[in-house]
Amino acid sequence: MSETNSPSPMRILYIEDNPLIAFHVEQMIEDLGHVFAGSLDSFAELQKQFASLEMDGALVDIDLADGATGPQAAAWLQERGIPAIFVTGQRQVAAEHGDVSLGTITKPVSSSELAAKLELFR
Amino acid sequence: MNTIEDKSLPALDQVLILAPYRKDADYLGRLLAEHEINVRAGARIDDLARMLHPSPGVLVATHEALTPDALATVAAHLETQPSWAEMPIVVLLDRASRPDQVRAELGRVWPRARLLFYQRPVTAVELVSGVQSALLVRLRQRDVRDHIAQEVELRRELNHRVKNILASVTSIFEMTRRGATSIDAFADDFRGRLGALDKVHSAVFHSEGDTVSIAEIAELTFDPYRLSGMDRIVANGPPVTLSREAGTTLALCLHELTTNAIKYGALSHPDGRVQFAWNLSQDETPELAISWKESGGPDVEEPSRAGYGTRYVRSALAGMFGQKPVIAFEADGLRCEARGVFSRVAGNQ
């Protein structure tokens, strides 16, 4: 498994409504030596759970269980000092909301792209 | 069936009257209104384009209204109409006119209209029934329009689902590959997981409401093993219906637990048993609890590193219920329990 030689592990939240993708990315995050802070399936759930979560950054899908609320979730996190990166197949939509994210990871997620993009949270 | 309730789509149930003589317009308006026809009178030719904008159901025009300007305005409107539309236009011809000539002319300038001609004097009964049947034609067109809109929506939804399924399959593929020790083991595991996904998909599809019951999930997961002589899995609980997403997650978890039990757990031993149970609390906000308990199998030892199945079950149940499940490697067999607010996983009834 590829381990990063990063100075310290980061806590990563994942907002994604497909549990299989969430699980897959969770495994990759842990294999990279980071800490998985949990997965949430909607913007509503993020607002509900936020107070009880600790994270250094969030990965955010565009289409969530409560609609195309990913950009809203990213903006909401930005207001609270948490940086976000979109994880999506919809690069164009992600680009339109570039002001609320540090970048975009393309689906299906590869471990190498994930490793590189997570460093943007530092 | 669902109807499309899009406020931006015109109802197409209104009759627009185009009659330059005030008296004609008033008479026609009154006559149609008396027969409970939704009528909009007093369209002036210089204002016609605006009046046509929210597409009328039927246009009623007197002969005098058919000026070159009016013909061109109506033609321009018809030109912009979608392919399902064929606006009925009722034309009240003058007594002295030659209907064949007018018919030919209008058929040429308004090719996409459904023309009805009456020569004055026309009886009220005749005119009203003509307008009514024109409105019926128009409402049939509206049905076609709504079906088309619904189909577009269904296609969009279908595309979303297909992409989602492919993303799920990709994730299953990647995860199975990572844990595989040989190509044959990979093939078996991958086939089994896709099979579980396929079966729960079919169950949700046949339930029509995008839901699936826990009993059904249990049956479709355990049945193949029962057929091969393993009737040692007991499943029981009250009728509980889950959403498509929660049902899919539970089906995949049960698949992992079952195959794990066959390979290493209770079902690898002739006397081993599995009890799968679920329950719904009777509180104000009901909680769903599920439990999987193996017994009578080989001695259990907690593996040094959790395999794909265990990690998946832990993560998936945590996501499904919003809180972590308990997975305990107890001496007499594996125990897995999860609970959470039912509304989070419930199928809409």
The DSSP annotation for B95-122 comes to TTS-HHHHHHHHHHH-TTEEEEEEESS-
Query: What mean pLDDT comes out for the span B15-29?
Result: 91
Round to whole Å and give the CA distance between A59 and A13. Answer: 6
Contact B234, B278 (CB under 8 A): no
* Beta pairing partners, B143: none
**Token pair for B275:** 């009890």
Q: What residue in A sits closest to B193 (Cα-Cα)?
A: A20
Give the model confidence (pLDDT) of A30-71 as tens digits.
Answer: 999 999 999 998 999 999 999 999 999 999 999 998 989 999
Q: Is residue B84 part of a domain?
A: yes
Q: Which amino acid is at B260?
A: N
CA torsion sign, B217 to B220 to B225 to B231? positive
**Token pair for B151:** 């189909």
Q: Is residue B175 part of a domain?
A: no
Cα end-to-end distance, chain B, whole Å = 16
| pLDDT at position A5 | 55
Give the model confidence (pLDDT) of A65-119 as tens digits.
Answer: 898 999 999 999 999 999 999 999 888 999 999 999 999 999 889 999 999 999 9
Alpha carbons within 13 A on the beta-carbon side of A24: 25
| pLDDT at position B4 | 44
Res B301 pLDDT > 90 = no
Query: What mean pLDDT comes out for the span B253-259?
Result: 95
Query: What mean pLDDT comes out for the span B164-179?
Result: 89
**Are B194 and B139 contained in the same domain?**
no
Give the model confidence (pLDDT) of B320-346 as tens digits.
Answer: 998 899 999 998 899 999 999 999 899
Query: What mean pLDDT comes out for the span B106-114?
Result: 92
Round to whole Å and give the CA distance between B189 and B307. Answer: 12
Least confident of A24-28, B41-45, B87-91, B215-219: B41-45
| pLDDT at position A23 | 92
**Are B133 and B229 contained in the same domain?**
no
**Are B29 and B98 contained in the same domain?**
yes
Q: What residue in A sits closest to B170 (Cα-Cα)?
A: A108
Bridge pairing between strands A11-15 and A35-40? parallel
**Are B72 and B211 contained in the same domain?**
no
**Are B142 and B185 contained in the same domain?**
no
Give the residue from B172, B254, B245 showing the smallest Cα distance to B220. Answer: B254
The residue out of B122, B147, B172 marking a domain boundary is B147
Out of A19, A21, A108, whose CB is closest to B320?
Answer: A19
Q: Total domain count for chain B?
A: 2
Provide the shortest C-alpha distance from residue A62 to chain B (in Å).
Answer: 13
Q: Is residue B107 part of a domain?
A: yes
**Token pair for B186:** 């990979």
Give the model confidence (pLDDT) of B257-283 as tens digits.
Answer: 999 999 999 999 888 999 999 999 998
Q: Which residue numbers of A have CB closer than 8 Å to B's CBs?
A: 17-24, 26-27, 38-39, 41, 45, 63, 65, 89, 107-108
Round to whole Å and give the CA distance between B37 and B39. Answer: 6
**Are B198 and B94 contained in the same domain?**
no
Q: Within its chain, how far is the Cα of B80 from the centroid?
A: 29
Q: Is residue B165 part of a domain?
A: no
Out of A18, A39, A45, whose CB is closest to B167?
Answer: A18
Query: What mean pLDDT comes out for the span B77-104?
Result: 91
**Are B239 and B336 contained in the same domain?**
yes
Res B157 pLDDT > 90 = no
* Beta pairing partners, A105: A87
Residue appearing with tokens 């689906």: A107
Q: Report CA Rg, chain A.
A: 13
Query: What mean pLDDT comes out for the span B197-226?
Result: 90
Whether A19 sits inside 8 A of B319 (CB atoms) is yes
**Are B143 and B190 contained in the same domain?**
no
Average pLDDT of chain B is 90
| pLDDT at position B1 | 37
Round to whole Å and give the CA distance between A87 and A65. Answer: 15
Provide the shortest C-alpha distance from residue B316 to chain A (in Å).
Answer: 6
The residue out of B147, B171, B205 marking a domain boundary is B147
Helix ranges (DSSP H) in B111-182:
124-179
Res B306 pLDDT > 70 = yes
| pLDDT at position B237 | 97
Q: Is residue B169 part of a domain?
A: no
Name all domains of chain A by residue range, CATH numbers in brackets.
Answer: 11-121 (3.40.50.2300)
**Are B197 and B134 contained in the same domain?**
no
Whether A23 sits inside 8 A of B320 (CB atoms) is no
Residues of A in contact with B320 (CB under 8 A): 19
The residue out of B131, B147, B163 marking a domain boundary is B147
Q: Is residue B174 part of a domain?
A: no
**Are B141 and B185 contained in the same domain?**
no
Q: Is residue B152 part of a domain?
A: no
Whole domain around residue B246: which residue ranges? 180-344
Query: What mean pLDDT comes out for the span B184-189?
Result: 94
| pLDDT at position B10 | 83
Q: Percentage of chain B with pLDDT > 90?
A: 64
ipTM of this predicted structure: 0.81
**Are B26 and B71 contained in the same domain?**
yes
Res B2 pLDDT > 50 = no
CATH label of the domain that carries residue B32:
3.40.50.2300
**Are B135 and B247 contained in the same domain?**
no
Whether A19 sits inside 8 A of B164 (CB atoms) is no
Out of B163, B171, B322, whose CB is closest to A20?
Answer: B171
Q: Is residue B254 part of a domain?
A: yes
Query: What mean pLDDT comes out for the span B71-97?
Result: 92
Q: Report CA Rg, chain B.
A: 34
Res B248 pLDDT > 70 = yes
Alpha carbons within 13 A on the beta-carbon side of B47: 10
Provide the shortest C-alpha distance from residue A14 to chain B (in Å).
Answer: 11
CATH label of the domain that carries residue B288:
3.30.565.10
Round to whole Å and give the CA distance between B112 and A37. Answer: 61
Q: Percentage of chain B with pLDDT > 70?
A: 96
